Structure 1
Amino acid sequence: MSREHEWVDEEAGPVVRPYAVARGRTKPTSAALDLLATVVSTGLPAPAKAELGVQHRRLLSYVAGQTRPVAEVASELGLPVGVVRVLLGDLLEHGLVTVRPPRDKAATPTESLLQEVIQGLRAL
C-alpha cells in the first residue's frame, strides 16, 4: 500500500487533520499569499533540503504551467485555504512557485458594470 493511501479511509475520506498536513503551522511564511494572489510553478527542481510531502507535490502539479488563484487551488485540492497558504509558503521559500499579488482594485470592474453585464446576459 502506498503511503498516500494510508491516510485515507474509503468511507470517511482523509483521516489526517489539516494541522497535521501543515505540520502544526497555521500561518504562511509569506504575507504575499492573499486569497486572490495567483501562483504558478517555477519549474525548478526541489532542493535536496526540501522536505516536501504528498500535498506539496499535489499542489505543485496543480499549478504547473498555469497561473491559479490561491482560493481556486484550495478548492480544487479539497484542502482548507489556511493549509494551502502554509504549503504554498513552503514552496515559495524553496523557489518552487512564484506568487503574484491580486490585481489593483482600481483595475477591477465596478459593481454597476457587473450589474450591467448580468442584465445583458439575462436579456439574451
Structure 2
Amino acid sequence: MRATGDADEAWYDDDAGPIVRPYAMTRGRSAPDQGRFDLITLVVTRPAAPATQLFPEQARIVELCRRPLSVAEVGAELDLPVGTVRVLLADLAAAGLIETHEPPMLSALPTEALLKELLAGLRAL
C-alpha cells in the first residue's frame, strides 16, 4: 500500500490497483435501474446541476461531461467497464445532474424516396 498519508491511499494498492471494485461503486447493481445507455448515447452535464454528495467516479463523470461524450468515451476515460458506467450514469440522471441524447432511430433516417430525389439531383449536376 502507499504510505503517503493521502486520503486516497486506503483505496489504492500499488500492486493490485484500485481496491474498490466496480460492484462496490454500483452497490451490487449490474444494470441501470432505469434508462437505456447505448455505447453511442451522448452524455452532457446539466447547466444548473444541483450540488450533491457524489462518489469520486460520479464527480469525474460530471466534470468530463461538461462537453458531450458518448457512454463508451466515459468508460474509456474512467477505465471502468461499460456496465458499471451505465449504472453510475443512471444514478446521475435520476439526480438531475446529467442529461442524455439518444442516437437517431432508424425511423429518423431519410426515406427511400428522398434518397432517390437526392441521387437524381446529384446526377443532374
Percent identity for Structure 1 against Structure 2:
39
Kept in 2: contact 1:4–1:54 (CA 8 A): no
- The answer for unaligned runs of 5 or more in structure 2 is 110-125
Please name the residue that 1:63 is paired with: 65
TM-score by structure 2 length? Answer: 0.73
- The answer for unaligned runs of 5 or more in structure 1 is 109-124
Larger Rg over CA atoms: 2
1:80 matches 2:81:
yes
Partner of 1:98: helix, strand, or coil?
Answer: strand
Count of aligned residue pairs for this structure pair:
105
The CA RMSD measured in Å over matched residues stands at 2.0
Kept in 1: contact 2:40–2:103 (CA 8 A): yes
Please name the residue that 1:23 is paired with: 27
Cα shift readout 1:24-43 (whole Å, capped 9, x = no counterpart) = 11111233322211100003
Cα shift readout 1:34-59 (whole Å, capped 9, x = no counterpart) = 221110000334355xx421111011
Please name the residue that 1:104 is paired with: 105
Q: Which has the higher contact order (CA 8 A, sep 6+)?
A: 1
